[in-house]
Structure 1
Amino acid sequence: MPFFKTLRDGERALLINRQGAGSLADGPQRVFVVGKSFERLQRLSADQKEYIRVQYRNGNIEHLPGPASLFLDPLRMDSANVQNAISLDANEVLVVYQRERESGGVLRRIQYGPTVFTPSADEWIHKFEWHGTDPNNKTRKIPGQLKFTKLRVIPDQFYLNIDDVRTKDDALITVKLMVFFELTEIEKMLNQTADPVADFINAVQADVVAFASQLSYEEFMENSSKLNSVEHYSQLMSLSKRIGYEISKVIFRGYHTSDQLQRLHDQSVEKRSALKVQMESEQQSQDLTDSKLLNEQQRQIMQQSLTVDKLKHKHTLEKEQLVHHIRLDVKDHEEQLERDKAKKMTELQSKKKLQDEQLAHLRQLNELGVDLTTYLVSQHPKPDNVLRVITKGSGSTVHIHP
């Protein structure tokens, strides 16, 4: 039997003598163990996402958040274990309770994410138990099926089938819905309800039953689209505000009836569909006839318009041609007038020049003392006509007729 035990660096051992007294030894060292029991202590360590829960022998409990490490000391501790801290995303919260040491009361606070939460020894987490989805049927809710501690504060939804909804004419149907909701006031929810999903289910059932009870089966089919509007869910909207939720919308996913009623409904739908197809066919025929007549009318209008345009074009061309000829005639006439004017001016200038020459000649003759009257008479020895006027008295009147 060895007299010494070796403790490496980072190790710790418990030594108990024959009287039952214990002591601790830390390495590195050589420990004399004769007459003593030797026990290496278990070392526990926790990283950043863990913590060490220590149960002391005096009843106290301590939580050591990581990173941390310790040796399980049987002299002071009953137990110690490593537990995971709670990781919270940005859309998750925890409801944390803590006992006050002085007053003995309990305080409640909301821990928001994102964070890694390590509860202290005097804190505990609220555990929720709500109606949850049946694993075998997503439209059926089971009490206590949904168990969790992280409360989600983002928009969410659930499917719901409301069975045995009775119409005014005693037809039983199953209404299929999808409810969208969002938690907006956590404190109000904690104070007003223990299971908001159950409250939603009851309120929706009440609203749908009230809606269907006022309508016959045929009327329900015609007005079923109104179930897509939150205005027809008064009890659900009132409840959601009271427990801190907001209902964004409710989707009507259809309905289901008994096989016999569904068969009758299918036959009725088939007949209505056939009549509708027949009516649509007749309507299409009428529309085709109307379209043909309209096209023919438009074609005639277009032909008339083309004819009028051709006549207008022809008249325009004739008018332009006539105007062109008139302009040419006017231009020719103006040119002829200019030529006649030039010719007349030439003749007048020639005649004037001749007269000027004769006048100059007469002036020269006059200067030379020639009797111009005798000269001019001699230039015309035989007059064509000779008039002789003989007057008697000063008051006589003379009439000359050629």
Structure 2
Amino acid sequence: MTIGWKTLDVGEQALIYDIQGRARVEEGPKRIFLFRETFKRLARYSANQTEFIIITNKNGLKEHLPGPAVVYKNPLVHENVSISDGISLDANEVLVSYRIEEDCNVQRHIHYGPMLFMQEASEWLHLFEWHGKDPVSKTRKIPGQLKFTKLRVIPDQFYYNVEEVRTADDAVITVKLMIFYELKNIEQMLNSTQDPIADFINCLSADVVAYASKLTYLEFIERSGELNENARYPQLHERCKVIGYEVSKVVYRGYHADDKLQRMHNRAVAERAKLKINFEKEQQEQSLTDFQLEREMERIETEQKMEVEALEHIHKMEKAQMLHRLKLKTEEQEEIIQQYIEQKQSSLQGKKLENDQKIRHYGQLQQMSVDLTQYLLSLSERPEKIVRVIAPSNANNIHFHHDRL
């Protein structure tokens, strides 16, 4: 019990009990005089815009009060008061919750981001418990290792090694894979499976074991690239259709065999590699020899072609020179012939003029009544000898012999 003054500041509340056990709540700012009363300051709980206050009443009713809000914990009414953060969702995240409706039925709700989710009092979140990555090895999965409430709806991937895979000749190997997947239907996934990663692992193992069991160890090594094809995983794709997922690609990352078997295989690979290197070396040497011979033949053909072209050029030049000389000779002969023709024409022209002059002269003499026959005889030279041949009228042949002086 207290007697005296008590002060309440702004934003404070207090619970005051009297001697009869009755209680009242006082709110500041206020100055209170207490007489045989008990003073108890109440705890203040405030939530901002991203928080909400969880209130548990003594009558069992639970309330969620979204911020901004302030609640004073009253021990007469409240069993517990706490503050919780709202759940922020990105654009690629989904939250699944269950809520008791007014008809007492439970309904499932899917909340897509981006948003800030404030949980109601009659609502609880779906907790996913899936196979998760082993802290020691990223290629092994542990049941229940991955626990979360935010579901990612973007394409994702994980590594996984399928162990204890036995081939047709009883060789035990480990196949390394990488799976790319994407969630397509959330409702279908929630209704069909509790752990899709476990479904992926089981179907992958079944498909890989079924594929490897038909092949020997060497055949598996030669054809292991086929594990990159989606057609090699029929059980995986069939199960994905049921649980609302889509596997876009399965990447084969290699294999691991028993150490003894691996050493034997490594020795065989080394021997094959050595033989292949020797084969390629011999092949390269043969190719080099063929290349050298081919180039030598091309060089000889080129030289012969150049010699032929040189001879053809020489013949062409000689022919051109000969044609040039013939042309000059022809031009020279043509010039001589032209000069001869011109000389003859000049001589003929001169004789023609002379004859014309004589004709005019004889014409003038004839006009003057001159006997041209006597005139012409007078102009001719006197002969040294005159031979007169008189033959009989009945003679057919006459023989005439003349001695040369």
TM, length-normalised to structure 2:
0.82
Aligned AA for 1:119?
Answer: Q
Task: Please give the secondary structure, in 2, of the residue aligned with 1:137.
Answer: coil
1:390 aligned residue: none
| CA contact 2:54–2:82 (8 Å) conserved in 1 | yes
Task: Please give the secondary structure, in 2, of the residue aligned with 1:251.
Answer: strand
- Quote the Cα distance in structure 2 between the aligned partners of 1:126 and 1:380: 167
| CA contact 2:3–2:37 (8 Å) conserved in 1 | no
> CA distance change for structure 1 residues 379 and 40 in 2, over 3 Å: closer, same or farther?
farther
1:305 partnered with 2:322: no
Aligned AA for 2:232?
Answer: H
1:294 partnered with 2:294: yes
Q: 1:347-384: per-residue Cα shift (whole Å, max 9, x none)?
A: 599869968x969x959x97xx9559979997996359
Percent same amino acid at aligned positions?
Answer: 48
Q: 1:307-364: per-residue Cα shift (whole Å, max 9, x none)?
A: 33333433444455455555656666777788788x6799599869968x969x959x
Once the two structures are overlaid, the 10-residue window that deviates more, 253-262 or 138-147, is 253-262
Task: Please give the secondary structure, in 2, of the residue aligned with 1:261.
Answer: helix
Equivalences for 1:149-164 in 2 at 5 Å? Answer: 149-164=149-164
2:182 aligned residue: 182
| CA contact 1:158–1:180 (8 Å) conserved in 2 | yes
> CA distance change for structure 1 residues 323 and 9 in 2, over 3 Å: closer, same or farther?
farther
- Quote the Cα distance in structure 1 between the aligned partners of 2:243 and 2:287: 57
> CA distance change for structure 1 residues 186 and 380 in 2, over 3 Å: closer, same or farther?
farther
1:251 aligned residue: 251
- Quote the Cα distance in structure 2 between the aligned partners of 1:218 and 1:135: 34
User: What residue ranges of structure 1 are gaps of 5+ in the alignment?
Assistant: 385-402
Aligned AA for 2:145?
Answer: Q
> CA distance change for structure 1 residues 301 and 190 in 2, over 3 Å: closer, same or farther?
farther
Q: 1:197, CA displacement in angstroms? A: 0.6
Higher CA-based Rg: 2
1:234 aligned residue: 234
Q: 1:180, CA displacement in angstroms? A: 1.4
1:101 aligned residue: 102
Once the two structures are overlaid, the 10-residue window that deviates more, 224-233 or 287-296, is 287-296
2:219 aligned residue: 219
1:76 aligned residue: 77
1:131 aligned residue: 131
2:61 aligned residue: 60
- Quote the Cα distance in structure 2 between the aligned partners of 1:142 and 1:116: 32
- Quote the Cα distance in structure 2 between the aligned partners of 1:72 and 1:335: 144
Q: 1:164-215: per-residue Cα shift (whole Å, max 9, x none)?
A: 1111111111111111111122111111111011001110111111111101
- Quote the Cα distance in structure 1 between the aligned partners of 2:134 and 2:294: 62
> CA distance change for structure 1 residues 373 and 30 in 2, over 3 Å: closer, same or farther?
farther
- Quote the Cα distance in structure 2 between the aligned partners of 1:139 and 1:297: 61
> CA distance change for structure 1 residues 42 and 338 in 2, over 3 Å: closer, same or farther?
farther
Q: CA RMSD in A?
A: 3.4
Task: Please give the secondary structure, in 2, of the residue aligned with 1:173.
Answer: strand
> CA distance change for structure 1 residues 353 and 169 in 2, over 3 Å: closer, same or farther?
same
2:171 aligned residue: 171
- Quote the Cα distance in structure 2 between the aligned partners of 1:380 and 1:19: 208
- Quote the Cα distance in structure 1 between the aligned partners of 2:171 and 2:113: 50
> CA distance change for structure 1 residues 140 and 306 in 2, over 3 Å: closer, same or farther?
same
> CA distance change for structure 1 residues 290 and 61 in 2, over 3 Å: closer, same or farther?
same
> CA distance change for structure 1 residues 237 and 338 in 2, over 3 Å: closer, same or farther?
farther
> CA distance change for structure 1 residues 278 and 18 in 2, over 3 Å: closer, same or farther?
same
| CA contact 1:362–1:372 (8 Å) conserved in 2 | no
1:387 aligned residue: none
1:382 aligned residue: 379
> CA distance change for structure 1 residues 123 and 272 in 2, over 3 Å: closer, same or farther?
same
Task: Please give the secondary structure, in 1, of the residue aligned with 2:35.
Answer: coil
